[in-house]
């Protein structure tokens, strides 16, 4: 991937097949888009150093529990990576480059670091997108360990999962199989950028929200809903031509009659 920030670098991610996306590297490129001169070399060197230390710590460990212990020891205990519960909504918490500097971030940002390092070891690892929270699964179906990087990498059992789901969905909610499905690399990047977009909208910064909507459609061009949100923000900004272009791109992503009907209705509204 390129060291030059901007739309071209993000579009390059959008053109990659899922298996070809290197999650932590892509997160660096996403963060670089907000910087005129991002020092990606330094960030890569830092992550590479973590990988070397993790390899030494894990040694010949073959069990998932031992690997998880080594990963948590390095990132949470020695390097101090954990969740920012005090200023949770701060924009830098959803910025991967800022995470490497501050050692604080959102669940999704931390999960990308954990998963990226584990995969550099050749271990099976994936982010798990619970409602309102992202955790990490190490290992396969038979020997998996669930970690919560936001709370110092603690291991999650059934009670911990229930607490996280109940906190997001209500006291009587329980974890379901769909909650424990791994996020794809692209879905994880979308969740990362969507966190930034939500914060921008809450702050009333529609220009920033529009910029992020554009970036989301670059990295996930096949998502109809992302094109819809982009068109909506472009319409709010008074840029009807851009909104029409986004709706046209949205049409290319779907054959669903209901979605196509919604696109036509939006186009008719823009023509008035």
Q: What is the pLDDT of residues 10-40, one digit of tens each?
A: 999 999 999 999 999 999 999 999 998 898 9
The CATH number for 104's domain is: 3.10.620
Q: Is 60 a domain residue?
A: yes
Give the structural domain span for 261: 222-271
Long-range contacts, 138-145 (Cβ 8 Å, 24+): 138/64, 138/67, 138/68, 138/71, 139/64, 139/67, 143/63, 143/64, 144/64, 145/64, 145/65, 145/68
Residue 192 lies in a domain: no
Domain boundary among 180, 213, 248: 180
Which pLDDT band, with edges at 50, 70 and 90, does 175 fall under?
confident
CB 221 within 8 A of CB 55: no
Together in a domain, 52 and 105: yes
**What pLDDT, on the 0 to 100 scale, is given for residue 61?**
77
Q: Tell me if 215 is assigned to some domain.
A: no
**CB 27 within 8 Å of CB 100:** no
> Based on the domain organization, do 261 and 166 belong to the same domain?
no
Let me know whether 62 and 136 are in one domain: yes
- Residues forming a β-bridge with 145: 138
**Percent with pLDDT over 90 in the chain:** 86
Does 22 share its domain with 143?
Answer: yes
Instruction: Tell me how many domains the chain contains.
Output: 2
> Is 132 found in the same domain as 45?
yes
pLDDT (0 to 100) of residue 177? 86
Strands (E), the chain: 82-83, 104-105, 125-130, 133-138, 145-148, 154-155
In a domain, 114, yes or no: yes
Are residues 226 and 159 part of one domain?
no
Q: What is the pLDDT of residue 140?
A: 85
Q: What is the pTM of this model?
A: 0.94
Q: Is residue 124 part of a domain?
A: yes
Question: Do 231 and 111 share a structural domain?
Answer: no
Q: pLDDT tens digit string along 65-105? A: 999 999 999 999 999 999 999 999 999 999 999 999 999 99
Could you tell me if 175 and 226 lie in one domain? no
Domain contains 212? no
How confident is the model at residue 27, as a pLDDT?
98
Q: Which residue has the higher pLDDT, 126 or 179?
A: 126
Bigger pLDDT: 3 or 137? 137
Q: For residues 138 and 144, is the Cβ–Cβ distance under 8 A?
A: yes
Q: pLDDT (tens digit, 9 = 90+) per residue, 216-249? A: 999 999 999 999 999 999 999 999 999 999 999 9
Whether 134 is covered by a domain: the verdict is yes
On whether both 230 and 124 belong to a single domain, the answer is no
Residue 214 falls inside a structural domain? no
């Amino acid at each position: 991937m390129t060291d030059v920030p901007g739309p071209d670098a993000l579009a390059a991610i959008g053109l990659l097949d899922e298996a070809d996306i290197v999650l932590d590297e892509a997160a660096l490129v996403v963060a670089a888009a907000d910087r005129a001169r991002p020092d990606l070399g330094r960030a890569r060197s830092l992550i590479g150093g973590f990988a070397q230390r993790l390899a030494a710590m894990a040694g010949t460990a073959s069990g998932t529990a031992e690997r998880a212990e080594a990963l948590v020891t390095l990132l949470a205990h020695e390097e101090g990576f954990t969740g920012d519960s005090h200023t949770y909504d701060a924009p830098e918490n959803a910025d991967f480059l800022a995470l490497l500097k501050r050692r604080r971030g959102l669940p999704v940002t931390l999960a990308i670091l954990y998963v990226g390092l584990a995969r550099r070891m050749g271990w099976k690892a994936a982010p798990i997108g619970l409602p309102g929270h992202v955790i990490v699964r190490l290992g396969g179906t038979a020997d998996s360990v669930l970690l919560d990087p936001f709370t110092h990498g603690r291991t999650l059992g059934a009670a911990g999962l229930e607490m996280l789901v109940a906190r997001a969905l209500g006291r009587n909610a329980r974890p379901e199989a769909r909650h424990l499905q791994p996020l794809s690399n692209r879905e994880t990047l979308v969740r990362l950028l969507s966190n930034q977009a939500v914060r921008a909208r809450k702050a009333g910064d529609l220009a920033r929200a529009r910029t992020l909507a554009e970036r989301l459609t670059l990295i996930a061009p096949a998502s109809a809903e992302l094109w819809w949100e982009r068109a909506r923000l472009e319409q709010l900004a008074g840029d009807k031509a851009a909104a029409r272009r986004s709706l046209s791109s949205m049409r290319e992503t779907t054959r669903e009659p209901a979605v196509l009907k919604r696109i036509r209705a939006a186009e008719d509204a823009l023509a008035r």
